[in-house]
């Protein structure tokens, strides 16, 4: 059987202070392969080497992964600030155009962390570079030791940290069969104002937007602020999301007459 193919977006990275590369975390690849049942294929988040038309002709869906860089604030009318670097403007340009194309062409789209933020910006929304600085918000960044270093235990870093209330009868509530879930939290930037087609599907205890869908999207178009790729092999919430993404991939493949 031929598996569906998922385009997994890369992130700009510099190795040894000199080599510019594109990288994707292995957990994203494994989540696609082991839970969605698809073949992950990384593509470069570089507009002048990645043709969107050709890409969408070769894949059955797109995964927008998390990334260290913030979405550049000029995309939502705010001046950049050195304190909120790094930025990855090539990924911004690639992702924002790609999101619109995926939704328009019914290509399954799953956004995680930065991916959710990109989906919001693509439809005219804005972001805040440090959600924890807003009144009443919790610190959504990864846990650190007293000396400021990131906690060395990934089970602590990626542990479920807060509740998310799901929109009644929304896409996530129907998919997950519940009204509330618990999720991990590893982000600084988050949605400030939702885009015009962005449907709020899940809200954290402190009001942070954690899950979205795209209104009137003809295909799968969901985004989550938490890192669902970390443990879908064992976490029932994240497994259900990746399985649903996989089902959408296979349906898209069948609809386009590709062998399966």
**Catalytic entry in 72, 84, 128, 227:** 227
State yes or no: is 227 an active-site residue.
yes
State yes or no: is 113 an active-site residue.
yes
**Catalytic entry in 102, 201, 229, 252:** 229
Q: What is the dihedral angle through the alpha carbons of 219, 220, 225, 228, rounded to the nearest 10 degrees?
A: -160
State yes or no: is 81 an active-site residue.
no
**Catalytic entry in 113, 187, 201, 210:** 113
Q: What is the dihedral angle through the alpha carbons of 107, 13, 190, 102, rounded to the nearest 10 degrees?
A: -10
* Residues carrying an active site annotation: 113, 227, 229
């Amino acid at each position: 059987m031929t598996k569906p193919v998922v385009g997994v977006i890369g992130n700009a990275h510099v190795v040894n202070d000199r080599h510019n590369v594109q990288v994707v975390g292995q957990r994203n690849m494994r989540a696609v392969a082991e839970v969605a049942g698809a073949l992950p294929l990384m593509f470069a988040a570089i507009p002048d080497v990645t043709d969107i038309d050709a890409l969408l002709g070769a894949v059955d869906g797109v995964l927008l992964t998390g990334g260290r860089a913030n979405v550049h604030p000029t995309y939502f009318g705010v001046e950049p600030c050195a304190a909120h670097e790094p930025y990855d403007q090539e990924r911004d340009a690639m992702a924002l155009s790609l999101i619109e194309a995926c939704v328009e062409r019914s290509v399954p789209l799953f956004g995680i962390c930065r991916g959710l933020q990109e989906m919001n910006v693509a439809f005219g929304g804005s972001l805040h570079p440090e959600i924890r600085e807003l009144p009443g918000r919790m610190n959504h960044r990864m846990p650190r030791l007293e000396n400021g270093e990131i906690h060395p235990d990934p089970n602590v870093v990626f542990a479920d940290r807060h509740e998310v209330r799901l929109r009644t009868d929304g896409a996530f509530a129907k998919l997950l069969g519940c009204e509330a879930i618990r999720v991990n939290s590893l982000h600084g930037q988050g949605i400030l104002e939702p885009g015009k087609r962005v449907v709020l599907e899940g809200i954290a205890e402190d009001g942070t937007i954690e899950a979205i869908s795209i209104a009137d999207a003809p295909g799968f178009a969901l985004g989550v602020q938490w890192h669902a790729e970390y443990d879908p092999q064992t976490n029932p919430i994240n497994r259900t999301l990746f399985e649903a993404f996989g089902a959408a991939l296979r349906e898209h493949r069948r609809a386009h007459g590709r062998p399966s």
